[in-house]
Every structure is written in structure tokens, then in C-alpha cells.
Structure 1
């Protein structure tokens, strides 16, 4: 047992030495290089190839051992045949974008860059599928996100938005940019409305003899306030502003989905997929996975994603942390195994 503890201690000492040396190397290299270069990298993934690879693996796993060599030969023949058939012709491409929205629509900048890249590369007959998930958020943030998707429509590029979970409020504002809007049966859609709320502590401050001076230039520079005393005029103006934003929201949706009875659905309510179809909020039911699988029969389906490019220090630091984690796990495994060793 003592011999094992000695070996384990030496092992940990070696790991710690590697961590220290690695950290010094990272610091020196990062300082020397100055961390210059591109901020993002373009990641492309051909979903057809991924699906075919999984299909073949499952087929092999389900076959008898004696059949596997024959299956491998057949797969090679299929690849050669497909290569000869595809020479000189370009199949249409379905470009897939993903947007996961938070309250600030933080992914809008990346979305805009991805749209610009597709507009430069897409050809006639191509399609853009946007897998959209958002419960909405700030008006100006989602207005910008919707404008980025509208660029695809303006350029004449066929666009399909797929909603698997939720596209409500600002999320639905974005979804309306699509030529075709699809949703899964229990996805949440709608919420065509505007909401705002703020606390007011004026009475609490007044009770403790605390005054708040609010000075403005312009009659409606501040309508409602958190600390001062709110007036009926301020409330009316605030509500008027909300109604104005709601009118813009309704007009945006009505222009892009002219068959929709906008007054019937612009109540702030939400509907689930099948109900949304009956209301005219979506064009078809189905998951994004099912739709892309159908498109793979006649088109290349490629996922497009701009990712932040990790700095060299981040990459090396991550590699070191993973190495330490694996070393600790290995040590724990050895310690656990020692319980069963004969002494």
C-alpha cells in the first residue's frame, strides 16, 4: 500500500509540473504573438453526409458479422456511383442558420454576418432555413433581428423558418420574414403585443422625508419615473407610446402575412402549433429535423455558423484544464480500484 501511495504522489507531482510549464508556455506565446487575427471563424457542416454516416453505422450494427464485408463493398460502390453522377451538375443547396434569442437578441450581430455571407454565396434555387427559438425581448433589438432576416426576402432568396419550441413576441416578429413558416405541433407562437412595467417608490421616499428632483427639457422627456411622483398625463402618454409600438408590430406582421386576420390575433395571446395553424400564424406543422430530412432527398443541406475564434491562450488553457481533469479522474479510478487489490 505504501508503495502505491508513493507512485500516486509522484504521478500527481508530474501532473502539477506539466500544468505549471504549460501555463508559462501559454503566457510567453500569447505575449509574443499579441493575439492578432480574425474574431470569428466560419463553421460549415454538411448534414447529408452526417445522416448517411449514421445510417451506415446503424445498418452495419444491425447486420450479421458475415454480411459486413459485403455491405462495405456496396457502400463504396454507392460512393463511386454518386461521384460519377454528380460530376458537372450543381444540386440546389439548403443553407441552415440557427438563432437562439435572449431578451436582448444578443445573437443578432452574428446573424447579420451570416446573412451577408449567404447573400454573397447563394445561387438561384437555393433556400435558407432558419431554426428559430425566442420568447421575445426588447423592441429595438428584435426589430433589428427581423430586419436582418428581411434581407433574405428582399434579395429573392427563398426562406423557411422552423420553430420547434417557441417564437413569441419579438421571436414571432422575426419569424414573419419567412416565405414559409413551419412549427412543431406544440410550439408556442404569437404574443403579438407590447408590455412594459416599472416600480414606483415615491410614497416610500415621501414617508421618510426624502425628496427626488427630476428635471427635464421637453414635455415628454420622462413620462413615468421610478422615484418621482407619476402624473395621469404621464401615464396616458406612456400608454400612447405602447399603443404606437403595438401598431407598428401589427403592421409589420400584416405586411408579411397578408392572409392573417391581424386584429383577431394581435391580442397578446399565444397559440400552440396546431392552433396557430388554424389561426393562420403558420403555414405547416412539423419539426425542423423532419423538414431538413425531406429536403436532403433533392438538395445538399449545409449548416452555417459563425463562431467566436478562441484565442491561443484560451485554447491552450482549455486543453490544460481538460488534461488536469482527466488526470484527476484517472487518479480517482486508481484509488477506487485499489480497494479491490490484494494486500
Structure 2
């Protein structure tokens, strides 16, 4: 009964430190940085194994473990052994990287460990790359090309292109550049404001009059607008705390520690945060109300058509219904099992100060 893309990826942040300094990543907004230790990783992985059984019972969907988080995973010296542990538990395993630490030796270790997919973030080349990332371009380029060569038939490299120039032609040019160097898979997306941690001038949603209209249109008929990110990408921070999702760069929405709670036990608290839009969702550009607000403003500027607005509105409403049905089954499952779930009021989120 495959009713939605929920419960798919458990993102274990093995570090939120990074060797790059991209301006579209608000690393200075993170209240603390660190590297996940072995004990915490082992417990996080045990929670993933535990939740996989829940997912099997509720939806039957496959669970992937991603070693991504908000940093460069290869900074963690245990990254290779962590991949091996994930694979030993029978999960499909993915990770992210900017490619600069992806030496040939490290590549061979990663492939031997059994990594299934790697998402390589590189949106510029040459001097522009060095200006944006503050890393040597030729080293990153050669590392990525070698990985593509050595990984054929084993691990799939995917080039991630962030359209931080707001220039689709630039994105197309970058894709062509990497195709010429043996890369075949690409994913591009616009700048994400990371739950409001990154200031983006046109994403100051609370001040826009269109928000009231967006809220009314998405809540009509008693509907609860729900974002799928906290459910499709379950997030464990380097410190062993569950967080609302990967957009919580300021780590405002802690749901408790993997040493104290299971994924299932924190589900009601997570849902309370999503429906209240506090403390993160209200400023995030992935929030459904904010997405429709942005589209309504684009309509006022003549940048989109009424039909496009209607299509997005319908998609967001249908998605919210789909998520609500799936979550209902998850919550019912939790209520029916001995360990149950903690009610929302039983976990007080730790709100990080800036």
C-alpha cells in the first residue's frame, strides 16, 4: 500500500563541520559544531534498525541511511567504518560530499565499504568555484572525475547543482561540463533558506500580505498543511539528538536523544512542531504556506500564471492529505505497541539561542 514517499531516508549527521565556506550555507548560524563519536553513531544506527521494522509494518517502504547532515562527512575519520556498519545492517547507504577530500585512496575505501550513492555538491568551476567554495578547484575536479571512473557499476555519483546564481543557463553549462567528464546523474535546486537561518531577501514570509490568503487556501475545509520533509528525511544530529529536519540549521527543534527515545516515541512531538509551524517551519521556504505565499507573490509580479498557482495549491493540498493519512497509520501503530509514543507535551524541545 504505497501511498506516499514517507519514511524513506534516515539522515545521520556524522559531522556538521565543513571544509568549504559557501555563502549559500549559513554555517555561522549553527549554534554548535562537532563530530559524531562511535558510540553515538552505533546508537543512531540501532534506532534506524528499530524504525525500519516500524516502517515495514506500517508502509512496507524501503529505508535508506544517509550520512549527510549539514557538513562534509569525510571530515569524520570514522566515515568509512560507518558506511560498513550501515551496509552490514542491510541498508542502502548514501552520503554527500563536496569532493575535495575524495582522494583516489579514499574513493577506493568508500567503494570497498559498499556505498550505494554519493551526492557531490559542486555548482561552479574554475576561479568562480574557488571564490564560492574557498577550495582548490583542480583537486576537486580530478577527485570527482576519478570517482566517476572507478565507481562504474557499483556506486552512483550524483552531481548536486545549487542554482545560487538564479541562472538556469549556468546550471545547464555546469551539467554539460560534468557530462564531458563521465558524470551521468544530476539534481539541481534553488537556494534553500535552511529554516530561515540563511537570509534571502524574497523569503521574509511573515511580512507578506499574501500569506493570509495562502493560509486560508491551504486550510480550507479543515485541512492541516503538512510538510513532508520531517517525515521523508528523518534527522539525527551529530550530538545524538533528533531534530525536526535537515533545514533546522540553528538546531532549534530538538526532540530528545537517541539514547533516551526511539523515532516512534518522538513522532507526536514532531507533528506538533509541524502543525504549529514553531519554532522552525514558519520561516522555512519548504513550509507549504510559505511556498504558496511565494507563488502568489510571483503571480502578482506576472512571473507565473493563475493555472500554475492553482496547480501548486492542489499539489500542496493533496500532499498534506497524503501525509496526514500515512501519519495517522504511524500514530495508530505507536498507540498499539507496548512502548507507545510520548504525547507531545512530554518532550520539551531544546531551543538553541543565537
Same-fold status (TM-score > 0.5): no
Higher helix share: 1
Higher Cα radius of gyration: 1
TM-score w.r.t. the length of structure 2 is 0.28
Higher relative contact order (Cα pairs below 8 Å, separated by 6+ residues): 1
